[in-house]
């Protein structure tokens, strides 16, 4: 972190994701960098998905919360390196599970965006007897699963 950006960082890290309100931007690993130039703070964020509708809300939130403490900020998007589910913190994974979303598997070089061959644990009853219902769940970043033991449907955060 660059000197003099600590205050901005303290504000940004606790902001929450509008689609996963129990996770902070820090939990998700979305904030990549905060820098200062003469007039502004430049906050670089890595979108989880290019077309993620939450991104514009996140951008506005960062700018307006920083304005409240007298910081004018420019928000920049970065796609390189692309956001990875590996950047979700341990704490973030725990919170996901508590809220009924099965967290993503660690990424391997040969997998692209799925967990097809791996066991997915049911966040309700912890059974591994689960099956995929659809590649896409309630948002682009999640697939829809069903537990064969407790029969509850649940979202699984994709590995990307």
Partner 1 sequence: MKSNMADMVFEGLLRIADDNLILGHRTSEWCGHAPTLEEDLALPNIALDLIGHAQTLYCLACEINSRYKNEDQLAFLRLEHEYKNLLLVEQENGDFGNTVLRLFYFSTFMKYFWERVKIKCCFKKLKEFSEKAFLETSYHSKYASQWVITLGDGTDESNLKMSNAIANLEPFLGELFNNDDFTEMCSQNDFLPEPTSIFDSWKNEVEAILQKGNLDFPDIILKKRGGRKGEHSEAFGYLLSDLQYMQRAYPNSSW
E strand intervals along 24-141: 31-36, 41-45, 73-77, 101-102, 130-134
d(CA 160, CA 154): 19
The pairing of beta strand 31-36 with beta strand 41-45? antiparallel
Under the binding rule (CB under 8 A), the answer on residue 29 touching partner 1 is no
- Within 50-69, the residues that bind partner 1 by CB under 8 A are 50-53
Closer to partner 1 by Cβ: residue 9 or 49: 49
Closer to partner 1 by Cβ: residue 124 or 139: 139
Under the binding rule (CB under 8 A), the answer on residue 26 touching partner 1 is no
d(CA 111, CA 115): 8
Under the binding rule (CB under 8 A), the answer on residue 109 touching partner 1 is no
Residue 32 CA from chain centroid, whole number? 12
Residue 21 CB, shortest distance to partner 1, in Å, is 20
Residue 97 CA from chain centroid, whole number? 14
Closer to partner 1 by Cβ: residue 8 or 159: 159
Rounded (10°) angle between helices 54-68 and 6-13 = 130
Residue 146 CB, shortest distance to partner 1, in Å, is 11
From candidates 2, 60, 98, 135, binder to partner 1 by CB under 8 A: 135
Residues touching partner 1, count (CB under 8 A):
26
Closer to partner 1 by Cβ: residue 8 or 55: 55
The pairing of beta strand 153-157 with beta strand 101-102? parallel
List of residues contacting partner 1 (CB under 8 A)? 47, 49-53, 77-83, 112-114, 133-140, 144, 160
């Amino acid at each position: 972190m660059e000197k003099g950006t600590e205050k901005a960082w303290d504000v940004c890290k606790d902001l929450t994701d509008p689609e996963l309100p129990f996770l902070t931007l820090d939990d998700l690993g979305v904030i990549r960098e905060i820098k200062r130039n003469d007039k502004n703070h430049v906050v670089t964020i890595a979108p989880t998905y290019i077309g993620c509708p939450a991104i514009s809300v996140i951008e506005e939130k960062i700018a307006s919360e920083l304005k409240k403490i007298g910081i004018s900020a420019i928000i920049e998007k970065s796609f390189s390196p692309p956001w990875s589910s590996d950047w979700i913190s341990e704490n973030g994974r725990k919170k996901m599970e508590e809220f009924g979303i099965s967290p993503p598997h660690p990424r391997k070089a040969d997998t692209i965006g799925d967990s097809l061959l791996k066991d997915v644990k049911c966040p309700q009853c912890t059974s591994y007897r689960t099956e995929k219902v659809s590649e896409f769940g309630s948002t682009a970043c999640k697939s829809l699963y069903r537990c064969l033991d407790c029969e509850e449907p649940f979202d699984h955060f994709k590995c990307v």
